[in-house]
Amino acid sequence: MTITPDDKDWTWVLEQPCDECGCDTTDIAGAEVANRLRANAGQWTTLLTSGDPAELKSRPTPETWSALEYGCHVRGVFVKFGERLQLMLREDDPTFENWDQDQTALDKHYDQQDPATVGRDLDTAAQNCTAVLDGVPEDQWERTGRRSNGSLFTVASLSRYLLHDPVHHLHDVTGKRYAEQS
């Protein structure tokens, strides 16, 4: 069974805490995000490389991604957002290409991938993405870019928006709220 696409506009997490996962990005400085992302990626890597592959591939319900599928998605988020941040730092006010996350999951067969490989690749993608954030000059955090739907981001707000995604999905998989994730 395929997953019902999530068509919510999650940009509200930049203005208020997420009641579901407990992540509050509203007062995090852009420069602080990279460390939080590295910590989160470490949890994902441990989960995917040391967990039972059969359990990681098992969906809790037919309509809910497995831990493996969420891990594949988070890996893709790190890659995509690293590219978007680099684009924002290179170009003036770029528009991001649309990314159909659900179609990507089907096209790349998230459900059939090896969890340990995904865990290692997720860690590499996170390291690459956070290296971009580590290299943002102080005067570049307010550079802008926008999604294809017109949502405007700065480098700082896109990094905070990025943080919520892997944190929220770790909550989806483990049930732990952000304050409990360590």
Task: Indicate whether 179 belongs to any domain.
Answer: no
Structural domain total, the chain: 1
Task: Indicate whether 60 belongs to any domain.
Answer: yes
Task: Indicate whether 166 belongs to any domain.
Answer: yes
If DSSP codes are grouped into helix, strand and coil, which group holds residue 173? helix
Identify whether the C-beta of residue 155 lies closer than 8 Å to the C-beta of residue 143. Answer: yes
Full domain range(s) for residue 44: 30-174
User: pLDDT tens digits, residue range 94-149?
Assistant: 999 999 888 899 999 999 999 999 999 999 999 999 999 999 999 999 999 999 88
Two tokens at 45?
Answer: 């890597």
User: pLDDT tens digits, residue range 53-88?
Assistant: 999 999 998 889 999 999 999 999 999 999 999 999
Instruction: Write 106-111 long-range contacts (CB < 8 A, 24+).
Output: 106/2, 108/72, 108/76, 110/65, 110/68, 110/69, 110/72, 110/73, 111/57, 111/66, 111/68, 111/69
The CATH number covering residue 71 comes to 1.20.120.450
pTM: 0.95
